[in-house]
């Protein structure tokens, strides 16, 4: 979807299709083309305020708040839209809400990373969500669907630590394959070919701690991928590009203690 051109479905599909079937529809409908339209599908309080998520209105009228992750308090405001997301916070008057598109264009021209580097990202196998990030480390929460697997891959610039908090993970690291259960962890050295799979019937959830000199998503060299992907978007690399991985050298056996393979 993210690679699709930003044009109307009328121009992109309907005007180019000669076989179209039309079915009558009876009922309420809204294209939800703006935050004002989104507000309209929610019930209003006695002051005309509407919300999606956790909101508290005090001495405010005709406001809308979208805040799914934390409490947002609106005090002494009128005709204001507040949209709180993990990537950015939008505060606008309702009569300017249609200008959001032009603001996004301005942010894109300024090359703001919030437009491309999202805190939570969907993948064919599940999702990953950024929790914390420093100069040489990054912490992510990863979920993997039952039966799904990440690509067989390696990195040039980072090592990784995986801690399973829910479910069972099947880990490939170099020439060895082993299982990790809840509260067990393992270490993926820089340059080691590795893969994570969910062999179970419930969602796999783990915490990943990355450390290294470069932590960008384009430092992924895919050796094998069931979804037909190669390098990350924008990296300009194919699965076979870059220096050879260290997988040819058999890694040391993991030590198994109370925390599982390390």
Taking phi first (over 0 means left), then psi (-120 to 50 degrees means alpha), and beta for anything else, what does residue 19 get? beta
pLDDT value at 247 more than 50? no
Tokens representing 35 are 């935050």
Least confident of 11-25, 90-104, 139-153, 243-257: 243-257
Q: What is the pLDDT of residue 256?
A: 40
Q: Whole-prediction pTM value?
A: 0.70
Summary mean pLDDT of the chain:
86
pLDDT value at 36 more than 90? no
Least confident of 33-42, 207-216, 247-256: 247-256
Give the model confidence (pLDDT) of 146-155 as tens digits: 999 999 999 9
What's the per-residue H, E or C state across 111-170?
Answer: CCHHHCCCCEEEECCEEEEEEEECCCEEEEEEEECCCCECCEEECCCEEEEEEEEECCEE
The model's confidence at residue 20, banded by pLDDT at 50, 70 and 90, is: confident
pLDDT value at 211 more than 80? yes
Tokens representing 200 are 């179970």
Please state the rounded mean pLDDT for residues 190-209.
97
Q: How far is CA 83 from CA 25, 52, 91, 124, in A?
A: 32, 9, 7, 27
Give the model confidence (pLDDT) of 57-103 as tens digits: 999 999 999 999 999 999 999 999 999 999 999 999 999 988 998 99
Distance CA(114)–CA(89), nearest Å, equals 11
Say if CB 225 and CB 239 are below 8 A apart.
yes
User: Which homologous superfamily is 120-261 in?
Assistant: Jelly Rolls (2.60.120.10)
Annotated domain spans of the chain? 34-118, 120-261
pLDDT value at 132 more than 50? yes
Q: What is the pLDDT of residue 229?
A: 76
The model's confidence at residue 43, banded by pLDDT at 50, 70 and 90, is: very high
């Amino acid at each position: 979807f993210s690679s699709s051109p930003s044009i109307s479905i009328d121009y992109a599909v309907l005007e180019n299709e000669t076989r179209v079937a039309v079915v009558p529809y009876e009922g309420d409908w809204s294209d939800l083309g703006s935050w004002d339209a989104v507000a309209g599908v929610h019930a209003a309080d006695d002051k005309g305020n509407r919300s999606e998520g956790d909101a508290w209105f005090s001495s405010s009228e005709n406001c809308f708040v979208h805040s799914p992750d934390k409490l947002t308090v609106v005090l002494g405001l009128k005709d204001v839209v507040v949209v709180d997301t993990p990537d950015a916070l939008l505060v606008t008057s309702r009569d300017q809400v249609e200008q959001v598109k032009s603001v996004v264009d301005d942010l894109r021209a300024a090359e703001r990373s919030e437009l491309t580097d999202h805190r939570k990202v969907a993948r064919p196998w599940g999702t990953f969500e950024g929790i914390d990030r420093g100069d040489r480390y990054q912490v992510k929460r990863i979920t993997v669907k039952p039966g799904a697997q990440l690509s067989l891959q390696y990195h040039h610039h980072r090592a990784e630590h995986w801690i399973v908090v829910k479910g069972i993970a099947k880990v490939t690291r170099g020439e060895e394959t082993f299982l990790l259960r809840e509260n067990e962890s393992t270490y993926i050295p820089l340059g080691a070919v590795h893969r994570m799979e969910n062999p179970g019937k419930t969602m796999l959830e783990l915490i990943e701690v990355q450390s290294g000199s470069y932590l960008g998503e384009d430092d992924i060299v895919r050796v094998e991928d069931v979804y037909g992907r190669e390098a990350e978007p924008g990296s300009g690399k194919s699965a076979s590009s870059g220096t050879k991985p260290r997988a040819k050298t058999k890694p040391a056996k993991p030590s198994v203690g109370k925390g599982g393979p390390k």
